[in-house]
Amino acid sequence: MAHVTTFHVFIILSSLSLFLLNYVSCNDNLQIAYQWKQIDFEFRNDQDRQEAVENGTFIPANIIPMGLEVYKNRLFMTMPRWKTGVPATLAYIDLNEQRDVSHLETKTEPGTSLENYPELWKNTYINYVRWHSNQQVNFFRSLAERYQNENNELKRQLAECKSREKSVRIEGFDEEKDSEKMLESNDDEDVVDEEFVSFLEITAKHRMERHNNTTQSPKLKPYPSWSAHSYEPRELVSPFRIRADQCGRLWVIDSGFNNLLPEEDRVAIRNPSLVVYDLHNDNLLRRYEFPSDQVKNDSLFANIAVEDDDCENTFAYVTDIFNPALLVYSWKQQSSWRVHHHYFHPDPLAGNYSIGNISFHWDDGLFGIALSKPQSDGYPTLYFHPLSSTNEFSVSTKFLRNETAATNQQEIFNEFKTLGTRGPNGQSAVSFLDKITGVLFYTLPNLNAIACWRTNSKTKTYTIKSQGRVFMSPVDMSFPNDIKVDDQDRLWVLSNKLHIFMYSELNPNDVNFRILTATVKDAIEHTACDTKTKPLTEIIDRLGGILRPSTTIPPAQGAANTSFNLSIISTIITIFICLIK
């Protein structure tokens, strides 16, 4: 057998290094869906907005989104009352709003077809037909711009069109066959359907009124209504995180605090509460206020996970980040209990943060929680970690759902498992587990990154090598603060520059808040979490044999070239075989 020289080892390591660099890199497939310099709302009218600004109930600089959830065609966000001037603490945007024209009052039917329009309206009508068939969704935006830029000319032409004595309808208009004839028709003989012209005028005005509400930075609609946020006592005081379950319910964990910053101005309006809405009709289903003996003086209930496999026997898990504990709530029993464990507490060696040019120290406890699908015994696994920690832990909900056992720390202590570490600067805020792929996603604020780990891998080892980087950017991912996977298996991430908001001041001319998204499949592609690739640890084990020192006696001098060639060829073939197996 050929002798493996130092040069051969160098060749192998170089090849391996190039492969590993490619393997552990990611595609950064997350795309910006929405972004804001400052948060704004859809007020009832301009006067209400102006009054809110003047009386201090709306101060855009004091608003920061913290929680994120996506359910069907709505994207929800929470805006806790860190400071004064937050008019609504829970709001949403319609993901399909640019396609929605149901609010337009018009008698024109989608199938209306007209003959011999003036040149201006021929193209407009054709575009309208295409839009209605979902082939041209930007039509109204261009029409609004046209209306705004050529207002007087458009009004003149509208008046001219409306002065026509009659209108003609052609039944069974076929766009492909008839559009060319329409364009070739004689303008002198053109007549116009007044209903359709009226439809265009209403649409143009509506779009002009909303021209500042772009699809990239849409204004938020208060949820469930303005009245829920406007009248005392408010339905919601200051929610941090939310969760929509598969039963069509929106769970809101309301901290109950006003004016979280500065700390000396903090006011507890009410005990922390679970507020649950019916997403089918937006009605309030239930409000549960946690008992005083489960709320400590320095408690902050900041995150929630919902075990919703049984809609009538649902359990909610809520984290107390400042006085580390896990609150368990039973929907069926309408009661809760407080669970304690050493693993909920912060790591004293992991409290230092440095993001950009801002350094600070936090000693925050239990924060990130994520639920798997039910395991073989019928109970999901709860993955969790304190914010100021680089370690990940887990426990079966079997031991949390039993109030008697869960509140006896000594009885269930050993049921909590230590999984492993995320490494230096691996403090993680929130996490979420995609039940389809079994991939656990989590945020890394210190690294401005999103990472992942396959909970269902063969080895199930939680090491730096088995974790993948999904996305990293000091600009687009400046303090990732919430992460979710929706029912269409799309990953959503909210970044909000929280460190700047707390310790400096956000620049209103910069983009400060972003929501990024991608399918889970695209997000994990070419990472250690990719379900189509072998885990990195397996590949390293396969290549390990190549790097072991040879005990073979060196060949004769005359055979050096032959040995060298055989060794190189053998190395290349071995690496190739390892990679394709």
Residue 349 sits in a domain of what CATH number? Answer: 2.120.10.30
CA 161, distance to chain mean position in Å, is 48
Task: Give the rounded percent of residues in the chain with a pLDDT score beyond 90.
Answer: 62
Per-range mean pLDDT, top range of 2-6, 123-127, 478-482: 478-482
Q: How far apart are CA 128 and CA 120, in angstroms?
A: 13
User: Quick check: helix, strand or coil at residue 85?
Assistant: coil
Comparing 166-180, 387-401, 517-531, 533-547, the range with the smallest average pLDDT is 166-180
Residue 407 has pLDDT above 90, yes or no: yes
Residue 205 has pLDDT above 90, yes or no: no
Q: Please give the pLDDT value at position 203.
A: 53
More confident site: 439 or 260? 439
The arrangement of strands across the sheet holding 513-519 comes to 31-36, 513-519, 490-495, 480-485
pLDDT band at 1 (very low <50, low <70, confident <90, very high): very low
Q: Please give the pLDDT value at position 42.
A: 96
pLDDT, tens digit (0-9, with 9 covering 90-100), for 13-58: 444 443 443 334 445 789 999 999 999 999 999 999 999 999 999 9
Q: Please give the pLDDT value at position 157.
A: 52
More confident site: 214 or 277? 277
* 159 found inside a domain: no
Q: Please give the pLDDT value at position 28.
A: 75
> Are 265 and 283 within 8 A, CB to CB?
no
**Mean pLDDT computed over 394-409:** 96
* 493 found inside a domain: no
Residue 176 has pLDDT above 50, yes or no: no
Bridge partners of 244, per DSSP, are 250
* 486 found inside a domain: no
Domain that holds residue 389: 40-99+217-427
Q: Please give the pLDDT value at position 158.
A: 53
pLDDT, tens digit (0-9, with 9 covering 90-100), for 259-280: 888 888 889 999 999 999 999 9
Q: Please give the pLDDT value at position 547.
A: 44
Q: Please give the pLDDT value at position 27.
A: 55
pLDDT, tens digit (0-9, with 9 covering 90-100), for 554-580: 444 444 444 444 444 444 444 444 444
* 104 found inside a domain: no
Structure tokens at 40: 């704004």
**Mean pLDDT computed over 301-320:** 98
pLDDT band at 449 (very low <50, low <70, confident <90, very high): very high
Residues in the chain: 581
* 319 found inside a domain: yes
* 279 found inside a domain: yes
pLDDT band at 181 (very low <50, low <70, confident <90, very high): very low
Q: How far apart are CA 72 and CA 92, in angstroms?
A: 12
Q: Please give the pLDDT value at position 460.
A: 84
Q: Please give the pLDDT value at position 232.
A: 87
Across all residues in the chain, what is the average pLDDT?
79
pTM above 0.85, yes or no: no
Q: Please give the pLDDT value at position 64.
A: 98
> Are 394 and 317 within 8 A, CB to CB?
no
* 252 found inside a domain: yes
Give the long-range contacts of residues 350-353, CB within 8 A, separation 24 or more: 350/388, 350/389, 350/390, 350/427, 351/388, 353/427, 353/445, 353/446, 353/499
Residue 507 has pLDDT above 80, yes or no: yes
* 227 found inside a domain: yes
More confident site: 253 or 568? 253
Split into its structural domains, the chain has a count of: 1
